[in-house]
Structure 1
Amino acid sequence: MASKPISLLLASHPGPTAVVTVVAVGLGIGLGYPPGRLVVLALAILLGQLSIGWSNDWLDAARDREVDRADKPAARGDVPLALVRASAFVALALALIVTAFLGIGALIAHAVAIAGGWAYNLGLKSTAASFVPFAVSFGLLPAIATLGQEHPAWPAPWVFAAGALLGVAAHVTNVLPDLADDARTGIRGLPHRLGTRASGLLAFGCLAVATVLITFGPGLPVRPLLVVGLVIGLAAVVAGVVLLLRRSPTRLLMQLIMTCALVDVAMLALAGQSIAAG
């Protein structure tokens, strides 16, 4: 059994939390954030993601225990549920306080993004609209970065669209390996209603469109590095589709979406100020 601090960390969904934080840092670097402001952005996003992750394990503990989820410390009893719940609320409060240093626009955008994650955990995951919180929260992530600049600006429309598409893809891909367990506990989100194959194809379709948008959305001459990113991103899509058609979905699908997301954020960083509306 891991120590209580380690178990609490594992209950925060550290993988997705780290990926989203890295995405935010990449956006900040691309926008030319000074080091101090970049640290504030990273800390704000990290705290927001910790809050969402801990609230998920707290609210899902009974369901996770019912299906013997070995990867959920709260369900296993490795960390007190009360501690996970308290950590979620503390991280939420700290996330909003830290984001306030980036300005009111960034604060509002981040508050809505976090609210989307909590809404999913509180029940939207069991509805046909389960994709909406992911689309909203991922779509707003670039807005937190652009509005958090010393001279705030809204992201360009194509950036919102690309972020939302990546969010839908992340949602579907993350849910696919858990369809059977979710069915046993009454969870019926959009992927459960569509079925495995259709959901997988939806995820990778969204991913492909997002990658193309990031490559050509700025309307500028395409740089060679963006072409490289496009090739890598579409290769990840092809690999995901092949994997989906040849075998049952696995966590590898989530790893592919994370890989492509990191490629996409690198491309967004290369886009720099062009991600902000003119």
Structure 2
Amino acid sequence: MNRVVALLRSSHPGPTIVVTALGTGLAFAADAAPVAVALITAAVLANQLSIGIANDVVDAARDRAAGRRDKPIAAGVVSRRAALITALVLAAGSLALAATLSPVALVADALLLLGGWLYDLALKAAPASALCYLVGFAALPSIATGALAEPRIAGLGATVAAALLGLAAHLANVLPDLDDDRAAGVRGLPQRLGRRGCLIGCAVLLPATGVALALGAGGHPLALAAAAVAVLAAPAVVIVGRRSGRGAFRLVMGVALVLVLALVLAGGALL
């Protein structure tokens, strides 16, 4: 495995791809210019790669102790120093790309980045871990609206929906590693809630996200349809999550993509 592949595997590629797709979808929904869409995609991708790699840098010792040979940094395939430098360069690159769009996009990108890095460095094991996702995801729509000819903060509906979706993703993302995290002394909000609490949280947050989307879009039919999907997916997350935490996370991310697709097709009314 070469260094580039190792770093990509360390970046938590699944969540990175989904969040980048969300950023791109929001850019299309905002009707941003093609160049702006490309810049938003690149900025969010670099942002999420940075956060993901930094997470594995911080967790390297714990992953090594747990025998996680699937983690390239813990396995020694790539050094912590090289990974940290890469994460910092990607963070700087993300901010530089956002800065070419507008101050609004730069601040929003910085909030998303700050939320991820604070989670990695300090708040992963604290009840306040949820705040990192709430703040970071709430800022995501404003990266898109900050790229418009007249940059502005995204509408309240989009901001609330994104924040709720981020919290649902946080609860679902931890499910596959819940037992290992507890054994390692990680006591963030999901670990304190436990598997049942996380699944119930997701079952509540997904419909709430759909409702925020529908209300913010003024009852647009596509937004209502997406909200219905989110409501129907809620019990499915609980059922799937009892058997597979990873399956529950994938289902939550799938609903997220449906919501953004509806937003794109609705013509960005929510933004």
TM-score normalised according to structure 1 size: 0.93
What is the alpha-carbon distance in structure 2 between the residues aligned to residue 94 and residue 28 of structure 1? 19
Tell me which residue corresponds to 2:64: 65
Contact 2:161–2:210 under 8 Å retained in 1 = yes
Amino acid at match of 1:242: I
Tell me which residue corresponds to 2:109: 110
User: Shift of the alpha carbon at 1:249?
Assistant: 4.0
Report the 3-state secondary structure (helix = DSSP H, G, I; strand = E; otherwise coil) of the residue aligned with 1:123: helix
User: Shift of the alpha carbon at 1:250?
Assistant: 2.2
Amino acid at match of 1:183: R
Contact 2:223–2:259 under 8 Å retained in 1 = no
User: Shift of the alpha carbon at 1:230?
Assistant: 2.9
Amino acid at match of 1:166: L
Amino acid at match of 2:73: A
RMSD: 1.5
Q: Which runs of 5+ in 2 are unaligned?
A: none
Tell me which residue corresponds to 2:85: 86
Report the 3-state secondary structure (helix = DSSP H, G, I; strand = E; otherwise coil) of the residue aligned with 1:155: coil
User: Shift of the alpha carbon at 1:202?
Assistant: 0.6
Alignment of 1:134-145 (within 5 A): 134-145=133-144
* Deviation sequence 1:162-213 (CA, Å, 0-9, x none): 1111011000101122111111211000111122101211122111110122
What is the alpha-carbon distance in structure 2 between the residues aligned to residue 184 and residue 86 of structure 1? 29
Amino acid at match of 2:163: A
What is the alpha-carbon distance in structure 2 between the residues aligned to residue 273 and residue 194 of structure 1? 35
Tell me which residue corresponds to 1:53: 52
Q: Which runs of 5+ in 1 are unaligned?
A: none
Aligned residues: 271
1:27 aligns with 2:36: no
Amino acid at match of 2:56: D
What is the alpha-carbon distance in structure 1 between the residues aligned to residue 181 and residue 223 of structure 2? 38
Tell me which residue corresponds to 1:272: 267
Tell me which residue corresponds to 2:129: 130
Tell me which residue corresponds to 1:6: 5
Percent identity for Structure 1 against Structure 2:
40
User: Shift of the alpha carbon at 1:88?
Assistant: 0.3
TM-score normalised according to structure 2 size: 0.95
Q: State which of 235, 239, 242 in structure 2 corresponds to 1:242.
A: 239
Contact 2:33–2:148 under 8 Å retained in 1 = no
* Deviation sequence 1:73-130 (CA, Å, 0-9, x none): 1111122221111100000111111110111111011111101100000020111111
Tell me which residue corresponds to 2:251: 256
User: Shift of the alpha carbon at 1:248?
Assistant: 4.1
What is the alpha-carbon distance in structure 2 between the residues aligned to residue 271 and residue 138 of structure 1? 21
What is the alpha-carbon distance in structure 1 between the residues aligned to residue 56 and residue 154 of structure 2? 32
What is the alpha-carbon distance in structure 2 between the residues aligned to residue 20 and residue 257 of structure 1? 12
What is the alpha-carbon distance in structure 1 between the residues aligned to residue 154 and residue 201 of structure 2? 25
Contact 1:214–1:267 under 8 Å retained in 2 = no
